[in-house]
A and B are shown apart, each in its own frame.
Chain A
Amino acid sequence: MHKAAIFRLEILFSAFLLVLGIAIVGVSLGYGFGSLARPGPGLYPAFLGVAIAIAAFFVLMADLRSATGKHHLDRQGAIMLVLMTATFCLWILVMPLLGYVVVTLLAAYAFCKIMRLEGWRKPLAVSGGTALFIFLLFDYWMYVDLPRGFWN
Chain B
Amino acid sequence: MSSPLKFAAFGAAVCLAAASAICNAQAWPSKPIRMLVGFPPGGPTDVVARLVSEKVAGQVNERFVIDNRPGAAGNIAAEILAKSNPDGHTLLYSSNAIALSPGLYPKLGYDPIKDIAPITEIGAGCLIVVVHPSLPTTSVKEFIDYAKARPGQLNYASSGAGTSTHLAVVLFSQRTGIQAQHVPYKGTAPSLVDMIAGRTQFLFGAVNTAVPHVREGRLRALAVTGAKRIQSLPDLRTLEESGMPGFVVTTWQGLFAPAGTPAAVLAKINAEFAKAVHSPELKPRLEQQDMEPTGPGVAKFTGMYLAELQKWTKVARDAGLKAE
Contacts and interface: CB of A to CB of B under 8 A. Distances in A.
A150 interface: no
Contacts of A145: 34, 65, 67
Contacts of B65: 143, 145
- Interface SS of A by simple majority: loop
Nearest to B323: A41
Interface in B28-64: 34, 63
Contacts of B63: 143
Interface in B185-234: none
A63 B34 CA distance: 53
A145 B34 CA distance: 9
Interface in A135-152: 143, 145
A143 B32 CA distance: 11
Contacts of A143: 63, 65
Nearest to B182: A38
B239 to A, nearest CB: 28
A36 to B, nearest CB: 14
B35 to A, nearest CB: 11
Nearest to B66: A143
Nearest to B34: A145
Nearest to B31: A152
B29 to A, nearest CB: 16
Nearest to A144: B65
Nearest to B324: A31
Interface string B280-314: 00000000000000000000000000000000000
B170 to A, nearest CB: 16
A143 B34 CA distance: 11
Nearest to B64: A143
B241 to A, nearest CB: 35
A143 B53 CA distance: 15
Contacts of B34: 145
A145 B64 CA distance: 12
A143 B67 CA distance: 10
B216 to A, nearest CB: 33
A114 B65 CA distance: 38
Interface in A95-152: 143, 145
Interface in B67-119: 67
A135 to B, nearest CB: 17
B186 to A, nearest CB: 15
Nearest to A37: B181
A112 B136 CA distance: 73
A117 to B, nearest CB: 37
A16 B65 CA distance: 44
Interface string A10-38: 00000000000000000000000000000
A111 B209 CA distance: 51
A20 B63 CA distance: 48
B277 to A, nearest CB: 24
A151 B34 CA distance: 18
The 5 closest A-B pairs by CB, nearest first: A143-B65, A145-B67, A145-B65, A145-B34, A143-B63
5 contacts: A143-B63, A143-B65, A145-B34, A145-B65, A145-B67
Interface of A: 143, 145
